[in-house]
Chains A and B, each alone.
Chain A
């Protein structure tokens, strides 16, 4: 008896549904589906270089593979925009440009980062590279130990140039000399 009443209760709506469905099908066709989207939110950091308003405009600005061209440099005379010459000594001179490093952080919970730099290859003869007055070599040097994430941090790139002739230990003259500096940011 109880089973019969349950079946009756189920059958009535089912009958109604069957009657209604063909009516709706005349008016519109509906199809449904679903996409199961999955996002893996991975934590991490990234390094990008940004031009500084007081420095040389970077090639590849706002990327992690930028370039900085001092242009034609000499101990005397005009320099390219953004390049300064803070010192001229008896045997050398220095040209300088500002640039920004931004380390973007997400999901780490790290308070700050350590920035290190090293030359990809030994410096050309007669050249010495400094970032924030720290001389670079092919061994990583710590530039900053408490960098702030997600904001441009200004750094100074100095290029110390011997003013001697190439035959006397000075750099090659009249030829663009390029050296790559590898920067690494490590979360603290």
Chain B
């Protein structure tokens, strides 16, 4: 009888100890996470599959190098040359890639305008067939479709062209076209 009591007591102690060591202990902490979403409309210029390779393609500050052109010799690759009565025109397509994120109000598309940074009294500049001057911003596309995602290719193809008079002396022609996309 004494033996049985001892066994029961030992088992009880063992169970108690086992229970106490297996008991899980927990602790907690809090991390407050803050973010401020901002509206963004983002434009990049991308090399068109049929166009001159842009320097800085995929950025919003690209360079379009037409190269050396002449009315009487073959144009560089992906440059189209057309001859008119008093001028010759060089043209190449490039892609305008406009994306939008978290607009304050839903926007289906945007308006694209372009303007020359410096006046050019000799040559005629066009984008998408629309004359572009330094006087004011010209509307190139009033319902330009947005692109989606983080893509750096695609976009809407717009032809950039320069009409050069035959009388113009050989020289480097350079100007900057400022584009603006405004959500509709």
Contacts and interface: CB of A to CB of B under 8 A. Distances in A.
Interface of A: 43-49, 58-59, 63-77, 87-91, 93, 95, 99, 101, 103, 108-110, 120, 126-127, 129, 157, 159, 161, 163-168, 170-188
Contacts of A72: 36-38
28 contacts: A46-B27, A64-B27, A66-B31, A70-B34, A73-B36, A74-B37, A74-B102, A75-B42, A76-B101, A77-B42, A110-B25, A157-B31, A159-B35, A161-B102, A165-B106, A167-B105, A173-B38, A173-B104, A176-B35, A177-B34, A177-B37, A179-B33, A180-B30, A182-B28, A182-B30, A183-B30, A183-B31, A184-B26
Q: Say what secondary structure dominates the interface of chain A.
A: strand
A163 B102 contact: yes
B42 to A, nearest CB: 4
Contacts of B28: 47, 64, 182-185
Contacts of A95: 35
Of A87, A157, A186, the most chain B CB neighbours within 10 A belong to A186
B25 A187 contact: yes
B27 A171 contact: no
B73 to A, nearest CB: 42
Contact of A103 (B27, B30, B103, B104): B27
A174 B35 contact: no
Given A165-B104, A171-B102, A68 B30 contact: no
B58 to A, nearest CB: 12
Given A109-B21, A165-B105, A165-B107, A68 B33 contact: yes
Contact of A174 (B30, B39, B101): B39
Interface in B1-55: 21, 24-40, 42
